[in-house]
Chains A and B, each alone.
Chain A
Amino acid sequence: MYKIFLAWRYLLSRKIIFLAVGGIAVGVMALIVVTSVMGGFSKEMRERIRGTSAHLNITSGDSYFVPNFQKVIEQIKSTEEVVGYAPRLEWGALLGSGLNFVQIIGIEPLLEKNVNAYEKYLSHGTPLEFPEKTWNNLPPVIIGNQLKYDLDDIISLTTLKLKSGIPVPVRQDFQTTGKFRTGMFEYDSNIYIPLKTAQDFLGVDEGVTKICLTIKDYRNVESVREQLRQKLGSLGYFRLNTWEEEKRNLLRAVATEKNINAFLLFFIVVVAAFNILALLTMRVVEKTKDIGILISLGARPYGIMWLFIWQGLLVATIGSVIGVIAGYTLAYYLNPIEDFIYHRSGWKLFPPDIYYLEKIPSEINYFTILIIVIATLLVSLLFSIYPALKASRLNPVDALRYE
């Protein structure tokens, strides 16, 4: 019973120990705030990726274009779980006169609305539709805002079309009738054009490279995929990928960024745990005589070891509690705090024009907080072991003689 009791008394007797508590608290607080912001950011990114992607995408397994396109559509329509579909023609092109590579996506706007939340990201009040006719009779396009063109600008696209199997360069002018922004470069440098216009531009009648599907309940995606695979088996070789499989690399990049940030910030906790190591090592020297007294009173080396481990764990526990309270509060009130700083100093911590976010995304995850606290306690335990072992190996006679 003496171990916790005496560890607590030892802690209270020296103010310097609160430096170690403060270090742990700052580390835990920083980790909670950063993982919350990164979690919120990651969720926002995922929402955006999800919003601009369909549940399931059908592409050809062995050519550019989806074979038997009309028959495939018929099979899709007859699948009960599928609530929306949209054919797409995705192709590469050069924009303007330079080597500015863009992706052009031919879409049918009415069908496209059923497969993603793309319209949510349109700006300038332009709906996801193309006018019948532009003022100079050029085909209409909707462009991502990474492309430095304005509405009603004329843009020129150059691509290769296949003529009898031989690629032939073609060039055509278009007029921008809409702009959009998602906050992600991958999407914001795309150009959307009507499907029919894209097919004419590339000289492929009724050719599409992808069919996007929306499913009634995304949790059933695997059974729908299997159904479609069986139905489409006789029509050719197809790939059926979910949006998560299609955007795997992007999703992984977002998750990796979050994990790397957490990993790097964890070094604050490691540095704070070094404080524990230093302070406990100092305490072992200071308390050498006490160790001898305790052994003479019947304490075992194992008990002496735990006396010092408890000191490290108490520092880590108090620091973690303070860090969790401070970190949670900061993550919860991040935006009011940011507003406060902005109104007082004029400094915008999180400029909305960089990430297209009105406020700092923050998602507090209790499981993450638990992991942070457990990791902090484990690291502190690890750093307490060395001085604790040193204390437990002291010779009682030498310890009693220590001055």
Chain B
Amino acid sequence: MNNTDRFAEFILPPVASLAHRGGRNEGLTTSKIILKAENISRRFRSGNGFIDVLKGVSLEIKEGEILSIVGPSGAGKSTLLHIMGLLDKPSSGRTLFKDKDLYLLSMGEQARLRNSSFAFIFQFYHLIPELNILDNILLPYMISYSVVGWKIRSRVLKDKAMSLINRLGLEHRLSHTPGQLSGGEQQRVAIARALITDPEIIFCDEPTGNLDSQTTSEIQNLIVELNRQNGKTFVIVTHNENIARCSHRIIRLVDGQIVETK
């Protein structure tokens, strides 16, 4: 049993890997919209002029779906992901999460959403190099808890993180820092960190862009299984056709506009 299977077994009961079946994910049963982007535009200053990276993009993300955003480099995929994930602000348009306009929320409410409802998985893992695996995974909780709250809850939270680490097969790397792990191991730690707060939407920015084909396949399986069994919503920016094929819907973005939805 490889590490990904062990992880999936912990998160959910064992099922056959979708990636091994090689087909589209068509198991979405809900039609409830969790996130809605309306007419999103994003303009950046460039020298003396401006560049319009997004030009009135509108899309709806359903609860429990895997949505892939594909397109050529510079099409605005990551910018759209950042705007939907509250890391960037649109120049115009609005983003609704459960019918709430995200950019009308206070800074504190936005931070709370990023901490507990949203999660990010990045291409370059983005782990804190000074912290070991356990502390990296616990970091979202450390951010949300006060010192007193942490003292009270730390044992339970550490147990939760330890279970994740054990299921990831990284228990022998417990005291290791990210620099001492392989790319695949680092990405598994990043996934565990994204999952620990039980978020509603997981935004993935090229999650396998820096991994070999074997590890890419493992991560891809993991995403699909998490979606099928736990109903996690994934928004994935990718160039990888296999990952795109495993999603419920694919949006193709070219030159800041949606040109195709499959």
Contact = CB atoms under 8 A, between A and B. Distances in A.
Interface of A: 1-2, 4-6, 9-10, 12-13, 289-290, 292-301, 303, 395-397, 400
Interface string B73-102: 000000000100101100000000000000
Contacts of B122: 400
Contact of A397 (B87, B127, B142, B147): B87
A303 B120 contact: no
A9 B87 CA distance: 26
Given A1-B142, A290-B128, A297 B114 contact: yes
Interface stretch (B104-112, B209-217, B248-256): B104-112
30 contacts: A1-B142, A1-B145, A1-B146, A1-B147, A1-B150, A4-B147, A5-B135, A5-B142, A6-B130, A6-B142, A9-B130, A9-B131, A10-B130, A13-B129, A13-B130, A289-B126, A290-B128, A294-B139, A294-B143, A295-B111, A296-B87, A296-B120, A297-B120, A297-B139, A297-B143, A297-B193, A298-B113, A300-B108, A303-B143, A400-B87
B3 interface: no
Nearest to A401: B78
A289 B146 CA distance: 24
Complex A-B, nearest 5 residue pairs according to Cβ-Cβ distance, in ascending order: A298-B115, A2-B142, A1-B150, A9-B130, A298-B114
Contact of B143 (A298, A395, A396, A397): A298
Measured as residues with beta carbon below 8 angstroms from the partner, the interface class of chain B is: 20 to 34
Contacts of B126: 289, 292-293, 296, 400
B116 interface: yes
B248 to A, nearest CB: 25
Instruction: Give the dominant DSSP class at B's interface.
Output: helix
A6 B126 CA distance: 15
A290 B147 CA distance: 21
B128 A295 contact: no
Contacts of B131: 6, 9
B47 interface: no
A4 B146 CA distance: 11
Interface of A is mostly: helix
Interface of B: 82, 85, 87-88, 107-108, 111-116, 120, 122, 126-131, 135, 139-140, 142-147, 149-150, 193
Nearest to B112: A298
Contacts of B115: 297-298
A16 B87 CA distance: 33
A295 B129 CA distance: 16
A6 B87 contact: no
A13 B131 CA distance: 10
Contacts of B120: 296-297
Nearest to A403: B124
B256 to A, nearest CB: 16
A129 to B, nearest CB: 73
Of residues A6, A298, A301, which shows the largest number of chain B Cβ atoms within 10 Å of its Cβ?
A: A298
Contacts of B87: 295-296, 396-397, 400
A299 B87 CA distance: 11
Nearest to B83: A397
B130 A298 contact: no
A2 B127 CA distance: 15
